[in-house]
């Protein structure tokens, strides 16, 4: 049967999130609006005789970068070659850019064959009720503002994504906090518990202060996707009583961006980087 590939409409994004939930990816409760706003043409839907069967995101970020995620084929439609066609369409949409992705272990060899190289490992830590960590800055944590968050985000992300961050910080139920000039983070309610990301900080004490404030009174389980090379982030998660439950590889096709991994305590999302 013929596969038709086109951008998903806003009304179709919830279906893709249901597929992601079925894969165990635990999407956020309000990811449909925030993800679609990141690049309204960037979520590609594959249809077989008009029926949606697969999807992938190919998000353009600024002028030089892009990110691939949300690569899902309905289980009853696998093995027909449609996944390859969808992948090629995503790569074509991001042609001429450095392309990033967070690849699951089982697919990393396939991504390498497509020209992606390992940059670092991301580890998902989780706890039903994480405990506050010691060593937090004594300064008062405040409601985050985009003006303060954007310069911190620039440490760990290669392009300006202020419009997306503003939606991410202010989506219903999202909690965004900061230590001005030093750290900011967002706690996002998900179908199961909540995910903490991004968590970006110039120093460990600031990261710990924002982490403690975000988890206070939060309903678990809580998930934190951290960059393994940041040993301060690993120490924070372990001291909070969190344990590894999942991992991905951050991979790039094209020149890898120069990011400050010491500031990356929590990835925003595996779907968007």
- The whole-number pLDDT of residue 77 equals 80
| Cβ burial, residue 258 (10 Å; 0-12/13-18/19+) | exposed
Is the pLDDT reported for residue 70 higher than 80? Answer: yes
Read off the pLDDT of residues 53-68 as tens digits, 9 standing for 90 and up: 999 999 999 999 999 9
Is the pLDDT reported for residue 79 higher than 80? Answer: no
User: Which CATH architecture group holds 122-266?
Assistant: 3-Layer(aba) Sandwich (3.40)
Read off the pLDDT of residues 119-143 as tens digits, 9 standing for 90 and up: 999 999 999 999 999 999 988 899 9
Read off the pLDDT of residues 224-249 as tens digits, 9 standing for 90 and up: 999 999 999 999 999 999 999 999 99
- The whole-number pLDDT of residue 213 equals 98
Name the residue with tokens 């993800």: 35
Give residue 26's region: left, alpha or beta (phi > 0; psi -120 to 50): left
Q: Please, which pLDDT band fits residue 263 given cuts at 50, 70 and 90? A: very high
Q: Please, which pLDDT band fits residue 2 given cuts at 50, 70 and 90? A: confident
- The whole-number pLDDT of residue 225 equals 98
- The whole-number pLDDT of residue 193 equals 98
Helix/strand/coil (H, E, C) string of the chain? CCEEEEECCCCCHHHHHHHHHHCCCCCECCHHHHHHHHCCCCEEEEEECCEEEEEEEEEEECCCEEEEEEEEECHHHCCCCHHHHHHHHHHHHCCCCEEEEEEEHHHHHHHHHCCCEEEEEEEEEEECCCCCCCCCCCCCCEECCHHHHHHHHHHHCCCCCHHHHHHHHHCCCCEEEEECCCEEEEEEEECCCEEEEEEEECCHHHHHHHHHHHHCCCCCCEEEEEECCCHHHHHHHHHCCCEEEEEEEEEEECCCCCCCHHHEEECCCCCCC
Contact between residue 231 and residue 120 where contact means Cβ atoms under 8 Å apart: no
Is the pLDDT reported for residue 218 higher than 80? Answer: yes
Cβ atoms < 10 Å from Cβ of 130: 25
Is the pLDDT reported for residue 80 higher than 80? Answer: no
Read off the pLDDT of residues 29-49 as tens digits, 9 standing for 90 and up: 999 999 998 999 999 999 999
Read off the pLDDT of residues 144-178 as tens digits, 9 standing for 90 and up: 999 999 999 999 999 999 999 999 999 999 999 99
Read off the pLDDT of residues 192-212 as tens digits, 9 standing for 90 and up: 999 999 999 999 999 999 999
3-101 maps to which CATH number? 3.40.630.30
Q: Check if 3-101 and 122-266 are the same fold.
A: yes
Domain ranges of the chain: 3-101, 122-266
**What's the whole-number average pLDDT of the chain?**
96
Q: How far is CA 19 from CA 31, 72, 121, in A?
A: 13, 7, 25
Tell me the HSE value of 34 on the side-chain side, using a 13 A CA sphere.
25
């Amino acid at each position: 049967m013929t596969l038709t590939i086109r951008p998903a409409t806003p009304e179709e994004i919830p279906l893709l999130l249901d597929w992601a939930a079925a894969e165990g990816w635990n999407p956020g409760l309000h990811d449909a609006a925030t993800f679609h706003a990141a690049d309204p043409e960037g979520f590609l839907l594959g249809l077989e005789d008009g029926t949606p069967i697969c999807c992938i995101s190919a998000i353009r970020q600024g002028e030089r970068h892009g990110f691939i995620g949300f690569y899902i084929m309905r289980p009853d439609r696998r093995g027909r070659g449609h996944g390859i066609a969808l992948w090629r369409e995503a790569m074509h949409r991001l042609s001429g850019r450095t392309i990033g992705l967070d690849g699951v272990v089982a697919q990393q060899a396939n991504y390498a064959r497509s020209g992606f190289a390992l940059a670092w490992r991301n580890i998902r830590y989780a706890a039903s009720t994480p405990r506050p960590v010691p060593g937090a800055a004594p300064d008062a944590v405040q409601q985050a503002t985009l003006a303060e968050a954007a310069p911190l985000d620039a440490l760990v992300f290669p392009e300006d994504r202020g419009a997306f961050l503003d939606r991410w910080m202010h989506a219903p139920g999202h909690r965004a906090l900061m230590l001005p000039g030093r750290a900011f983070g967002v706690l996002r309610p998900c179908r199961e518990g909540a995910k903490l990301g991004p968590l970006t900080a110039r120093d460990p004490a600031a990261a710990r202060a924002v982490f403690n404030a975000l988890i206070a009174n939060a309903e678990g389980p809580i998930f934190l996707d951290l960059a393994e090379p940041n040993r301060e982030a690993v120490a924070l998660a372990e001291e909070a009583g969190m344990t590894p439950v999942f991992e991905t590889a951050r991979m790039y096709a094209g020149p890898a961006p120069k990011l400050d991994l010491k500031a990356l305590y929590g990835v925003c999302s595996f779907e968007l980087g």
